[in-house]
Amino acid sequence: MGETFPMIGGVSEYSYTKNSTYQKQASNAVKEMIDEAVVESLDAGSTSTKVSIADLGCSVGPNTFFTVQNLIEAVQKKRPSETLEFQVFFNDHSSNDFNTLFSTLPPERQYHAAAVPGSFHGRLFPRSSITVAHSSHALQWLSKQPQGAPNEGRVHNRGAPEDVVKSYSDQYEKDLSCFMRARAEEIVKGGVLVLVVPGTPDGVSHSDHPAGVMFSYFGHSLMELANEGVVDKEKIDKFNLPIYAPAMGEMKRVIENNGCFSIEKMELTDPMSKVDGPIDVANLIMHMRAGLEGIFSAHFGDSVVEKMFAKISDKAQEISHFFESGFSKSTQLLVVLKRK
Amino acid sequence: MGETFPMIGGVSEYSYTKNSTYQKQASNAVKEMIDEAVVESLDAGSTSTKVSIADLGCSVGPNTFFTVQNLIEAVQKKRPSETLEFQVFFNDHSSNDFNTLFSTLPPERQYHAAAVPGSFHGRLFPRSSITVAHSSHALQWLSKQPQGAPNEGRVHNRGAPEDVVKSYSDQYEKDLSCFMRARAEEIVKGGVLVLVVPGTPDGVSHSDHPAGVMFSYFGHSLMELANEGVVDKEKIDKFNLPIYAPAMGEMKRVIENNGCFSIEKMELTDPMSKVDGPIDVANLIMHMRAGLEGIFSAHFGDSVVEKMFAKISDKAQEISHFFESGFSKSTQLLVVLKRK
């Protein structure tokens, strides 16, 4: 199992629970597409009224609860004449704050809830026991830091040398292959696997999504701290943020190599299509902090990370200008697969 | 759903994790009997290699892990020629410390682990989805405080007036009926339900097990604090510890009224049969504290409870003498049921 850096648990100011509306908006942008795709594709379990749904990389809610409710409604739309019984498995690393997840479960839920701890790069469920599996904003996490040449003051593959970029894509393919192999065993014939991941349009460099831009500001801010003598430059060179946004072609290749699923839908979408007005950068920084503070702190220590976020916040206006200058918005990849 | 007072979570001095060897010894006393009974009775799922095991009222380990391992080995003994795949559901109230449970899961486990939050007095799983269900040292917890006449300085039904005793047994029968109704829907035909509960020999008063003796010392200590002006006597009168040890006849009546299970085994056992030497009372007090501090604190406040435990500890020698004077040792009821 790889290293794990859970989202910030609990319900405090910097918690994921309080800072996940960005992910919610991004999910809303594909909600109807998922709904339609599940209704069209699902072709499983007609001999049983029991439907098992898994959300892989669920974090601590509330987004996972909306997602699961959408999936349940889609399945009910597909099989309207039956009284179905739903069991929902919320999965994340065992260090995830499941206590908070359980204490915020919707009281009026119409399903049996269960939590499954463990890495989704390995097996989590018995063979052929899952009807619909879903993973949103989770598969971009690599199971470990890509190991390559020093990354020259960067913390990511944006603008990095060729061999750094390659070590990222190699690790992603390895991880995704493990993920697909496990899901192929767990999902029933005719069952559906829905993936929502940050994606990069084919032929475009890995820099063109808001997260990529943000990551380069993380690097800039750390380098400023290095110049001020707060942190060693060597320490920055050794750090590669284990997050990757694949091109569509990369994703497709791994799925086809696996061979157990047919591709029902695969398209790049705009995660902010349901949002009016410009991106709220201060808010976006808070969101990234909820998700990323843990991994930066483990490497650089709390006090450096505190200063890094302060520097990034100072650059909010500059970042806003960058976002307004316009670049590819198709940065969220939606993939719907059916188990053959 | 009733009130919930979870065991003390985490791994600190007073935690359940560090103070549950008494429950472990009590489980050891029936381990082989359960093993045999499961091998003899189980008659389910031969068409599938998937085996679902549920531990109801699992708390935070480590006892639940030993229990589950024993059950898995028993099922494997019954079906030695098959490669079985086990999924284990750890159930307790949603306020249970599942984070600690997950962080202490045996790394070498040969099963898929899941946690299911919620009261076992209601439905937890889809219909016919469980092969073997087990509950040990949990069903004695009533879903709420028995409501009856003032209990005159007692905190339990030991030596209480007739109507207090009846309000306890009525609440127990109601709760157990709900439990049995839910399990009858969830356990597959031929599946097994194992219950280990504190029990009272038929025709003997409700006072004859170590817990009952201890509870009366809780009452004495609180009354001393009332005399010292630390706590109101009225407050003590309003408190009934929601714990009950049924007579075998009561247990049998509820199971027969339910009608969905055949009784494969029902007998009173000595929970300390595998322990040499006298009971370690200081240790026993620590164990009761891990399990009961929450419910006493909610009613009386932390400072009263601190003083109550200090007073009980002062009486350790007196309690030891009582235990050594000898009384019925058959205070643990083992019940093995098969779903018809």
- Using pLDDT thresholds of 50, 70 and 90, give the confidence band for residue B336: very high
Please say whether the dihedral angle defined by the alpha carbons of residues A98, A104, A107 and A108, taken in this order, is positive or negative.
Answer: negative
Is A98 within 8 Å of B87 when comparing Cβ atoms?
A: no
Q: Which residues of B touch A113 (CB under 8 A)?
A: 116-118
State residue B96's pLDDT score: 93
**Do B85 and A50 count as a contact with CB atoms less than 8 A apart?**
no
Interface with B, mutate which of A47, A84, A85, A99 (most B CBs under 10 A): A99
**Predicted local distance difference test score (pLDDT) of residue A190:** 94
Q: What is the CATH number of domain B21-339?
A: 3.40.50.150
Asked if residue B3 has pLDDT above 60, the reply is no
Report pLDDT digits (tens) over A276-311: 666 778 887 888 888 888 889 999 999 999 999 999
Minimal C-alpha gap between B7 and chain A (Å): 14
Residue B198 pLDDT more than 90? no
Amino acid identity of residue B173, one-letter, is: E
CA A50 to chain B, closest CA, distance in angstroms equals 7
> With contacts defined as CB-CB under 8 Å, which chain B residues touch A49?
127
Decide: residue A144, CB within 10 A, 0-12 exposed, 13-18 middle, 19+ buried: middle
pLDDT at A332: 86
Q: What is the pLDDT of residues A39-83, one digit of tens each?
A: 888 987 667 889 999 999 998 878 899 999 999 999 999 988 888
What residues of chain A have any CB closer than 8 angstroms to a CB in chain B? Answer: 49-50, 85-87, 89, 94-95, 97-99, 102-103, 105, 112-118, 123-127, 129
pLDDT for the residue B287: 79
| Subunit contact B102:A124, Cβ cutoff 8 A | no
Answer yes or no: do A87 and B125 touch at CB < 8 A: yes
B56 compared with B26, residue with greater pLDDT: B56
Q: What residues does each domain of chain A span?
A: 21-339
Inter-chain residue contact A116 with B118, CB threshold 8 Å: no
B278 pLDDT higher than 90? no
Counting one residue from A and one from B, how many pairs have CB atoms under 8 Å apart?
72
Nearest CA-CA distance, residue A207 and chain B, Å: 37
Place of tokens 């599946």: B191
Higher per-residue pLDDT: A162 or B194 = B194
How many angstroms separate the CA of residue B245 from the nearest CA in chain A?
Answer: 30
User: Residue A105 and residue B94: Cβ atoms within 8 Å?
Assistant: yes
Residue among B129, B112, B130, B114 at smallest CA distance from B53: B130
Distance, CA of B311 to CA of A187 (rounded, Å): 58
> Per mean pLDDT, which range of B44-53, B181-190, B229-238 is the poorest?
B44-53
Cα Rg, chain A, nearest whole Å: 20
Interval B189-201 mean pLDDT: 91
pLDDT of residue B2: 44
Looking at CA atoms only, how far is residue A331 from chain B in angstroms? 34
CA angle A251–A255–A260, rounded 5-degree value: 165
Strands B130-136 and A50-56 come out as unpaired
Q: Which residues of chain A have pLDDT under 50?
A: 1-2
Q: Could you tell me which residues are beta bridge partners of residue A141?
A: A243
Cβ-proximal residues to B283 (8 Å cutoff; 6+ apart), any chain? B21, B22
pLDDT digits (tens, 9 = 90+) for B125-148: 999 999 999 999 899 999 988 876
Q: For the beta carbon of residue B27, count every other beta carbon within 10 angstroms.
A: 22
Nearest Cα of chain A lies from the Cα of B263 at a distance, in angstroms, of 28
The confidence score (pLDDT) of residue A56 equals 97
Q: Which of B90, B88, B72 is nearest to B80 (CA)?
A: B72
The whole-number pLDDT of residue B135 equals 96
Round to whole Å and give the CA distance between B5 and B141. Answer: 10
Contact at CB, A125 and B99, closer than 8 angstroms: no
Q: Which residues of A touch B117 (CB under 8 A)?
A: 102, 105, 113, 115
CA-to-CA distance for B41 and B44, rounded, in angstroms? 9
| Chain B residues close to A50, C-beta within 8 Å | 126-127, 129
ipTM exceeding the 0.90 mark:
no
Contact A116, A54 (CB under 8 A): yes
Chain A residue whose CA is closest to B94: A102
Of the partner residues B50, B94, B105, the one whose CB lies closest to the CB of residue A129:
B50
